[in-house]
Amino acid sequence: MKKNYLKRFAAWATGLKGNIFLYARLRLSALYLLAMLLVVGVYSTALFFSIRANIIEDFEDRFEQVDVRSKALVRTLDILEEKIILADTAVLGLMGLLSYLLAGMTLKPIAVALGEQRKFSSDASHELRTPLTVMKTELEVALKSRELSAAQARGIFASSLEEINRMSALIEDLLLISRGQAKKAVLEKLDLAAVAGAVVEKMRALAEEKNIALFFSPGKGLVRGERRFLERMAINITQNAISYTPAGGKVAVEVKTGNGIVLFAVRDTGVGIAPEHLSHVFDRFYKAAGFHESGGTGLGLSIVKEIVRLHNGDILLNSLPGKGTEVIVTLPEFRP
């Protein structure tokens, strides 16, 4: 029987090490409990000898007969020892439970961060693997083909170039996110209206190609920011608006200042976003149904959110399916 229990315990311990967070939680709980055990042990020992000295002194005054006093003293000290041991056991049991809960609370942020990191790595690997698979398949087919025309070769090259551009954009987005998390933006006085105006001009050709009217309403917009980050923010939001607006639609970009904040807003008359997707639009690699046409990486809005956070701002997204989307970014106004 003992061997079976030992085998079961060994199997449980081996499996426990595979669950790094449960294993770490138990180890941390044990450390907490050990520290509490030392404190309780020292305190209880000191308390016992202190009370023992008082009892002995009291009994010497109360009992004149040595035998009676000795028996009463032994009985009283035994009861005191039992009571202290029971109290310590109860306290340590409670402390053990509290240690386990405290260890869980301590490790929870780490567990969440690691889970997000694993998901991010998995999603990034999947996104990078897809264009590589497409290129590999096309090139393998081309190599197996005995007769490959110039037009077919150009088509394969064009497709491969498109996939390479897609990977390049994804890698650039991943680098921007990692840099944004690794350091704070270097903030300096910046005219957000000028940055937004330059972005609108860059996006005008894309809007005209899709027969979309692109408007810009510049206003005062002095903020503390890093130009390349805020430019990327404006590009991502404006490009999204154009990408998801059908021909004949409108996209309006606005910058204005009021009540100590600078507002950057982009409003479109596009396809909109269904309510069940609104809470996920800033998640990395999240692509709602009907949002695959632009061939994006799924990182655009998550990058925007990270940039806004680095600039101590807020972002709000409102949308109605079939009626359009409004993205509003508010940043603190520059104060000399």
Residue 85 has pLDDT above 60, yes or no: yes
User: What is the structure's pLDDT at 328?
Assistant: 95
Whole-number Å distance between alpha carbons of 17 and 132? 36
CATH at 192: 3.30.565.10
> What whole-number percentage of the chain has pLDDT above 70?
80
Give tens-digit pLDDT for 18-61. Answer: 667 777 778 888 888 888 888 888 888 888 888 888 888 777 77
Residue ending a domain, choose from 166, 183, 200:
183
**pTM beyond 0.75:** no
Q: For residues 246-282, b (16+ Cβ closer than 10 Å) or e, as one string?
A: eeebbbbbbbbbeeeebbbbbbbbbbbbeeebeeebb
User: What is the structure's pLDDT at 193?
Assistant: 93
User: What is the structure's pLDDT at 199?
Assistant: 92
Query: Using the 8-state DSSP alphabet, how is residue 333 labeled?
Result: B
Task: Note whether 17 and 153 are same-domain residues.
Answer: yes
Task: Note whether 174 and 284 are same-domain residues.
Answer: no
User: What is the structure's pLDDT at 267?
Assistant: 95
Task: Note whether 138 and 153 are same-domain residues.
Answer: yes
Give tens-digit pLDDT for 285-298. Answer: 666 544 444 445 56
Alpha carbon 142 to its chain's center:
43
Whole-number Å distance between alpha carbons of 88 and 92? 6
Report which secondary-structure segment, H or E, holds 23. helix 20-62
Task: Note whether 63 and 98 are same-domain residues.
Answer: yes
Domain that holds residue 312: 188-332
Task: Note whether 210 and 77 are same-domain residues.
Answer: no
Say what the alpha-carbon torsion angle 56, 62, 63, 64 is, to the nearest 10 degrees: 110
Whole-number Å distance between alpha carbons of 107 and 28? 9
Task: Note whether 12 and 33 are same-domain residues.
Answer: yes
| Better pLDDT: 211 or 108 | 211
Residue 78 has pLDDT above 50, yes or no: yes
Task: Note whether 71 and 173 are same-domain residues.
Answer: yes
Task: Note whether 177 and 198 are same-domain residues.
Answer: no
Task: Note whether 171 and 266 are same-domain residues.
Answer: no
List Cβ neighbours of 1 (8 Å cut-off, separation of 6 or more).
none
Q: How many domains does the chain have?
A: 2
Tell me the sheet residues that pair with 9: none
State mean pLDDT over 307-313.
Answer: 89
Query: Using the 8-state DSSP alphabet, how is residue 298 labeled?
Result: S
Residue with tokens 């999947």: 126
